[in-house]
A = this chain, B = another copy of it.
Amino acid sequence: MDFIKQYIDNNKQRFLDELFGLIRIPSISSEAAHKPDMYKAAEYWKKSMLEAGADKAEVFETEGNPIVYGEKIIDKKLPTVLVYGHMDVMPVDPIELWNNPPFEPVVKDGLILARGADDDKGQSFMHAKAFELLVKTGKLPCNVKFLIEGEEEIGSTHLYQFCKDHKDMLKADVFIVSDTEMIEEDIPAITAGLRGLAYWEIEVTGPNKDLHSGIYGGAVANPINVLCKMIADVQDENGHITIPGFYDDVVIASTRERKLMRKAPYDEKTYKEAIDVKALKGEKGYTTNERTWIRPSFDVCGIYGGYTGEGSKTVLPSKATAKISCRLVPNQDNHKISKLVKKYFEKIAPRYVKVKVTEMHGGMAYLCPIDLPAYKAAERAFNKVYGKEPIPVRSGGSIPIIAGFESILGVKSILMGFGLGSDNIHSPNENYPVNNFYKGIETIANFYLEYAKDAKK
């Protein structure tokens, strides 16, 4: 057994206990009531960094949630790897669908069950432990920095400015991030591309109060009906988004690229069965993977208006609200799209209602060339642990700050994720295989060795 495996084996339970301590803090970034929990999570991370061997660690205040930075500089001439992760998690509703309280982690059937078990507490904490392993065994081959934020799930709002304000401190040769998925438990992947995001809240106001639907129904525009119509009109029967200019900047993937993508394993039957749908629905002319990897999407993430309680209430409501998001693809500027869509909804708003569009968070798409030395090092590390080369894939998900790191700090990120499609991230019963947690630590430790070896050449 090599020293990496040995160290993990000797510390298995403690690693898990420490992760559980982090998970128990309900650090939901989108709910103001959990603000104190963000600070608890930040202090937990600071302590973890120091105990793992960082020279220093600090909790930085922002106008939003705190950011934790830590570092160990062993030799300024050696390359520097920066670990990025996030300590905030998604809300837990609908809470009634959880089989286990979301902030009381347990291991059951080999799975860690909890909100944040995967996204991103489980995945980011592997880095703390891989770092500890190399420090304590005296094998750390390069400088390491940690950047852990508390607003990833709400758009990394204050991290952009933080990066601008701390360019020197965050200087690194490469960023490494574990916040993505493998293809299967034994098929590793490196995510070479991410979609971007734009998000809006659209509020349609009709009458100034809820009206009796008998007295007024038929004579006064119903804001729910109007909102539904506005949403329905955004996509045509082929699944194309009809907003003028929406596709203008999209880089069309080449025929060769699309051919390579089709090599990624995909089984429609399994895919449909896993989510229990009889048929898939997407943009005409594209495969399922293409629809989520290289094409933008338009999804209503939430809608509400009028009477939503038990039973029935006949009412012509005053307001209806939708939370809408678009996933964007390389070269679509999220700010431009955000304004385009806002203006579009304001323009098509009929006279008989008031429409208010609020631009929420967003981010650019990202691409990582697969011949980057750091990418190659990650490839070798995966190969060593899993016995096979990781497949370069793209992800439909967004980690907008990854594009930000590139534009602000000029550094590429390597997305070496250990999550599985069955981890229910963002959903009830989020989980993370405990095996992936340990193998992730092993792979990350190997990455440092491979990356430093490469850098010496």
Residues of A with Cβ closer than 8 Å to B?
30-32, 90-91, 93-94, 97, 153-155, 181, 195, 197, 199, 201, 206-222, 224-225, 227-229, 231-233, 235, 239, 275-283, 288-289, 291-292, 295-317, 320-323, 325, 327, 350-353, 360-361, 395-398, 421, 424-428
Contact = CB atoms under 8 A, between A and B. Distances in A.
B426 A314 contact: yes
A224 to B, nearest CB: 4
Nearest to A320: B303
Given A210-B426, A305-B302, A424-B209, A215 B396 contact: yes
Contact of A292 (B217, B283, B304, B353): B217
A427 B301 contact: no
Given A30-B309, A213-B297, A277-B352, A218 B327 contact: yes
A312 B306 contact: no
Interface centre among A90, A209, A352 (most CB of B within 10 A): A209
Contacts of A209: 97, 275, 424, 427-428
Given A214-B327, A304-B304, 6 more contacts: A154-B312, A197-B314, A220-B277, A224-B322, A228-B232, A306-B323
Contacts of A233: 232
A332 to B, nearest CB: 13
B231 A235 contact: no
A231 B308 CA distance: 17
A405 to B, nearest CB: 18
A278 B352 contact: yes
14 contacts: A206-B277, A211-B427, A212-B425, A215-B395, A227-B228, A228-B229, A228-B232, A228-B300, A229-B232, A232-B232, A301-B306, A303-B305, A306-B323, A308-B321
Given A213-B327, A296-B218, A352-B277, A32 B320 contact: no
B352 A279 contact: yes
A288 B220 CA distance: 9
Interface centre among A224, A280, A313 (most CB of B within 10 A): A313
A218 B285 CA distance: 12
B396 A282 contact: no
Contacts of A282: 218-220
A155 B309 CA distance: 16
Nearest to A237: B229
Given A214-B395, A218-B291, A220-B280, A310 B31 contact: yes
A299 B217 contact: yes
A224 B303 contact: yes
Contacts of A398: 214, 314
A316 to B, nearest CB: 5
A304 B303 contact: yes
B292 A219 contact: yes
Contact of A281 (B220, B224, B306): B220
A421 to B, nearest CB: 7
A283 B278 CA distance: 37
Nearest to A33: B310
Contacts of A327: 213-214, 217-218
A203 to B, nearest CB: 12
A74 B428 CA distance: 66
Contacts of A316: 299, 301
Interface centre among A93, A215, A312, A396 (most CB of B within 10 A): A312
Nearest to A119: B212
Contacts of A210: 94, 426-428
Contact of A308 (B197, B303, B315): B303
A207 B313 contact: no
